[in-house]
A and B are shown apart, each in its own frame.
Chain A
């Protein structure tokens, strides 16, 4: 597949004009429009949707740029979320608050399962600093191990997808089975305060929403930086002609591991923000179904566009909520149809529609008096190109330098 923005831009700037415009529109929406027009309940919902956007942005890097489709991103989302939830649960489980338990001072679900002392690996989560590090470090370490094992042995494509899916299944069964230590199928619930600050109030939710937005833009910036860097261009080259990159002397596996870890880190941050905004974490985010749904957000937004991923996460979830509020028994038809439509008719997702129809508009308008044969460098190709096959030669596949 071709990366339209990269291919069409002759400049080596950090952002093209259209990307800048897209980012500005998104920023205005997230930081100004939504907080202004939504009540706290709806704003919190949007905050929740935006936590999925972190995963989708990570997937754009892994899948869109790197060609690695992970069906286990929920694992990292969940691990990040669980790390955060452990800290919050410990804070909520003061001896005073849990006085009715047979062992006060430990989380309630442990007490229900006859665990009488806090397990050693819960202890460090008393510290907020440790927790914040762990939120990113634990999932990244896990991704690193998986990546090392798989990419070093050149497991790729479909096999990688299915193995990540199996890992998601394993972790779900483990978390559910070890309920004395993890809260089991209920998850870790009833989280109250962060360093004494009540995260359940409307004010707190608004602050968390804004923090979430800032973090999301930070991740978008990092993702854009990676895509613009040499590593990013190599990734795309690898996706299209892995052997050629390898023969050119690059360590293909190292790049893949790197980008997979970055994707995991983004997902983990999303998971932690999810825990903070929703107030609990449960194994239902770790499994296969949510992991595939997260891929769908990315596909709907456009697998090559980091901004598209954010829009994808927002719109699919909005559709899901809207559909299920109006036709609870029909929303699966809508969702299923959406997947098929996106794959069949809009493989570039929303971003593709934008690039093809909206982005060229200003240029076209400006160009109207000028004879049409003068090509404008900033515009996307006027005629829609047929979708290129993965093996096809796309402009982006050629070495950039």
Chain B
């Protein structure tokens, strides 16, 4: 995969058990607020006092996107609670102001402005869709805020005011396509998506990569968001007989798509055709029903079933806070990284000032991440591993593949635009 990622710094040893989460690994000693007088750590008038620092949480809790964003809110609150339990950031407890973007992009912009201008929050964890991020981006750049954005997304962006804790498109897509061609011998692909920028851009990257590999794309199709009738495209798939259905359907459409796929006699467990998706996390499976998607493969950086000590502790803490029935998807995990990466940046910079955090962020390493070791790249994205999971009837993924090395984030991929 171009460009070849330089080998990552050797992974530090994990601490076992829940201690991994509750022990501050970045700076193992407890920091006292008195060592960091407010006047010196906050020169730009942020909402930082001697005992508290205020951050913003900006997600949709109403409207159509509430379905997806709920998990992110929960993860961010968990991370903040854990950080506070360890003594906070520079000895200050984190207080958060939560705002509702209401699934409406201008509302996101309005609330972002409120958080930055009125509340002077020290950072914002938030946004989910690309549209909401695009809407708040000028606000963050104008008022010099810092946004921790959790969703895997289409790339083509590298803002000094955003840390992207999810994967950009090439990180997520290329490894999965390589895996399916190498281990499953796939030759032909049918690309399907909801009609907006992320699926279209992702499919464009996928198509370029498939064609570079000398393989064939036999169909590419988009349906409006919220579409619920997929019988026609299922017929087309049956007609073209692709080896792989590459599906980037989102939201409520997902449920309709997988149920109708199964009803039409396409049994995903038979893998003929095989279905590879980058848009269905454990959260979405709740709505789809595990029995309807069993056998499909998903390509992303995190699955709840990941087997490592960090993740075990994370899943346990998450369930303790939000209920035993809860599931955790890729974006939820990425959202959980936000407050931790911000804390690390603040403590590395010894300051809450946005400019100092920006300078301090690249190179920050986090080996307590549930997904394993991650590192912030110069371009504000994360180095991370990409994994392929196979959906099980119980709604979880079984991890079947993971890249050997961390994949370098490449938001402006040469040759894929």
| Chain A contacts to B: CB under 8 angstroms | 39-42, 44-45, 48, 100, 102, 109, 111-114, 173, 176-177, 179, 184-187, 189-192, 200, 278-280, 282, 284-285, 321, 324-325, 328-329, 331-332
Contact = CB atoms under 8 A, between A and B. Distances in A.
A102 B417 contact: yes
B130 A186 contact: yes
Contacts of B200: 113, 179, 184
Interface string B27-43: 00000000000000000
Contacts of A328: 61-62, 98-100
Interface residues of B, number: 37
B131 A282 contact: yes
Contacts of B138: 189-192, 200, 279-280
Contacts of A200: 138, 142
Given A112-B201, A176-B225, A284-B105, A186 B156 contact: no
Interface in B100-134: 100, 102, 104-107, 109-110, 113-114, 117-118, 129-131, 134
B195 A324 contact: no
A45 B117 CA distance: 12
B222 interface: yes
A48 B100 contact: no
A192 B138 CA distance: 9
B114 A280 contact: no
A287 to B, nearest CB: 11
Contacts of B67: none
Given A41-B117, A200-B142, A328-B61, A284 B104 contact: yes
B61 A41 contact: no
Contact of B196 (A102, A184, A190): A184
A332 B102 CA distance: 10
Given A44-B113, A285-B106, A329-B61, 18 more contacts: A39-B117, A45-B110, A100-B412, A111-B417, A112-B417, A113-B200, A176-B196, A177-B222, A186-B130, A186-B197, A187-B105, A189-B134, A190-B137, A190-B138, A278-B106, A321-B110, A324-B100, A331-B62
A185 B197 contact: yes
Contacts of B130: 185-186
A348 B225 CA distance: 37
Given A279-B109, A280-B138, A329-B61, A186 B131 contact: yes
A44 B156 CA distance: 30
Interface of B: 61-62, 98-100, 102, 104-107, 109-110, 113-114, 117-118, 129-131, 134-135, 137-138, 142, 154, 156, 195-197, 200-201, 204, 222, 224-225, 412, 417
Contacts of A324: 62, 99-100, 102, 107
A185 B131 contact: yes
Nearest to A321: B110
B125 to A, nearest CB: 15
Contact of A187 (B131, B137, B222, B412): B131
Contact of B109 (A113, A186, A280, A332): A280
Nearest to B154: A112
Nearest to B142: A200
- Leading 10 A-B pairs by shortest Cβ distance: A328-B100, A185-B196, A41-B117, A186-B134, A186-B131, A189-B134, A324-B100, A190-B138, A185-B131, A173-B224
Given A177-B222, A184-B197, A112 B114 contact: no
A189 B114 CA distance: 19
B204 A282 contact: no
A280 B201 CA distance: 21
30 contacts: A41-B117, A42-B118, A44-B113, A100-B412, A102-B417, A112-B154, A112-B156, A173-B224, A176-B196, A177-B222, A177-B224, A179-B200, A184-B200, A185-B196, A186-B105, A186-B134, A186-B135, A186-B197, A187-B105, A187-B135, A189-B134, A189-B137, A200-B138, A284-B104, A284-B105, A284-B131, A324-B102, A328-B100, A331-B100, A332-B62
A28 B195 CA distance: 47
B53 to A, nearest CB: 20
A186 B199 CA distance: 13
Nearest to B156: A112
B104 A176 contact: no
Given A173-B224, A280-B109, A187 B196 contact: no
A177 B195 contact: yes
Nearest to B113: A41
A176 B142 CA distance: 27
A102 B129 CA distance: 25
A262 B105 CA distance: 28
Contacts of B110: 45, 48, 278, 321
A282 B62 contact: no
Nearest to A42: B118
A278 B135 CA distance: 10
A111 to B, nearest CB: 8
Contacts of A179: 196-197, 200
A150 B412 CA distance: 49
A206 to B, nearest CB: 14
A328 B142 CA distance: 26
A278 B113 CA distance: 11
B62 A329 contact: yes
Contacts of B100: 324, 328-329, 331
- Give the one of B99, B102, B106, B117 with max A CB within 10 A: B106
A112 B197 contact: yes
Contacts of B225: 176, 185
Contacts of B142: 200
B105 to A, nearest CB: 5
A328 B32 CA distance: 34
A321 to B, nearest CB: 7
Contacts of A114: 204, 417
Contacts of A42: 118
Contacts of A48: 106, 110
A230 B196 CA distance: 48
Contacts of A173: 195, 224
B294 to A, nearest CB: 31
A333 to B, nearest CB: 10
A282 B106 contact: yes
A176 B195 contact: yes
B212 to A, nearest CB: 16
Contacts of A185: 129-131, 196-197, 225
A282 B196 contact: no
A282 B156 contact: no
Contacts of B61: 328-329
A378 B68 CA distance: 57
Given A185-B131, A187-B134, A328-B100, A41 B196 contact: no
Contacts of B134: 186-187, 189-190, 280
A190 B135 CA distance: 8
A113 B198 CA distance: 11
Contacts of A109: 197
Nearest to B97: A325
A42 B104 CA distance: 19
